[in-house]
Structure 1
């Protein structure tokens, strides 16, 4: 039986060009650093509001030997997305890896249906789901040419009845299903997968309010988790790297929660 192969598929990280949306903070920052430590020498990171953090991350990437392009881009804007990918293409001439990490949320108790306004729905879906699709669409031709890979960042909220809001949970469920259908739509040249983190130690926890500190919440969740700890951003980045490497995995979601989901 003759096996089909992609003759232009990315062969190593050193020749690859990567783009990480929301690449200056949290999981995006950890992933950008992991890619460069793995050998990527051409990387674009985007930000919407965290300019100072993005510049600090860019300096770290530069110190590791990468050529870095920092772009301000609101993924809700088709114009911003087009400009970002044009800039990346003009600077690096190719794209092999797309990490869709940019996201947002507004904290609304799940029982507070009236508090979930149209504005929150629009902001959440336009950023987390429509914006992600637009990035995949803008990158598709370059990724097909290089035989590249997409990894989307979803959330356990997309699989369980939890989350910072109903809109956030629905947006992340959409990311998981979008990953599956894009894996079919972009095959065989491009592989599309997603990571599904549980609790991750980032500044999103304290931004949720309610007087709960990151440390307190992490202790509570870890106590109910088989591996007895919660994820760091670097743990998620490590799985993202694995999905970029895996040549025969596409359309899959990988849960990163220390086994907590096994005990529900």
Structure 2
């Protein structure tokens, strides 16, 4: 199928997995809308990097937890590029709370994580759906092995990612047969999240069957492959160097 002149929205596209995905798809000919909430500098740098090699990209601000902002974002993308063919729901946040410290889990933590990580993905899918449907498009939701193992940077984060996996399956039912919806569940990925935690990262690597952690570019390559796979929907594809094997 290819990505030449296909319009792709990547949420949280200025850093990490989102940036790598935006860059890869643009290198393959896609027109990329790079959503950000607070990472304006990084998102614009990503868009500029794409333009430098002749690609087409725009950085666009929206808090995905706010439906009105999402609707406005979709309208701006369609006005600029005509439609949307693919959606990569990557934007998410976390709170660092010890898993066994239940008293530290506040109502605000639950509300914030579910608003962005779950409701935000739904908002984007709903707003983009009419355009994706017209082009027989696809959605990839970026989950996490935290949503499979129940362990992560905090209890609400792990539960929110389990909800992302459930949302993926529900959207796959709701949007079939015109839109495919698939999830990817990365394990540890070498992003800025590990800054200052290098020893923790090395300790984790020693316990992984493949003796390594993933790069953002590797996850981006999987996302690109999943978007193009015509027989795939409703699945959660785990990529974790054997951590959950």
Q: TM-score, normalised by structure 2?
A: 0.97
Corresponding position: 1:188 with 2:177: yes
Show CA shifts across 1:61-104 (max 9, x none).
11122221211111111111011000001011111110000010
Contact 1:26 1:202 in 2 (8 A): yes
Q: How does 1:5-24 map to 2 (within 5 A)?
A: 11-24=1-14
Q: TM-score, normalised by structure 1?
A: 0.90
Structure 1 segments of 4 or more deviating over 4 A?
none
Distance (whole Å) between structure 2 residues aligned to residue 245 and residue 218 of structure 1:
32
Counterpart of 2:92?
A: 103
Structure 2: 5+ residue stretches without partners? none
Show CA shifts across 1:227-251 (max 9, x none).
1100111111011011011111111
Show CA shifts across 1:16-48 (max 9, x none).
1000000010100000011011221x2101111
Structure 1: 5+ residue stretches without partners? 1-10, 207-212
- Secondary structure at 1:247 match in 2: coil
Counterpart of 2:102?
A: 113
- Equivalent in 71, 83, 86 of residue 82 of structure 1: 71
Distance (whole Å) between structure 2 residues aligned to residue 192 and residue 214 of structure 1:
33
Contact 2:194 2:201 in 1 (8 A): no
Corresponding position: 1:134 with 2:117: no
Show CA shifts across 1:79-135 (max 9, x none).
110110000010111111100000101111111111110111110000000111010
Show CA shifts across 1:139-192 (max 9, x none).
111000011010010011000031111111111000001101111111111110
Contact 1:58 1:68 in 2 (8 A): yes
Shift of 1:201: 1.0
Corresponding position: 1:235 with 2:224: no
Aligned length: 245
Distance (whole Å) between structure 2 residues aligned to residue 238 and residue 134 of structure 1:
25
Counterpart of 1:203?
A: 192
- Equivalent in 207, 225, 234 of residue 251 of structure 1: 234
Distance (whole Å) between structure 2 residues aligned to residue 38 and residue 226 of structure 1:
32
Q: Which one has the largest radius of gyration?
A: 1
What RMSD, in angstroms, separates the aligned Cα atoms of the two structures?
1.0
Distance (whole Å) between structure 2 residues aligned to residue 249 and residue 217 of structure 1:
35
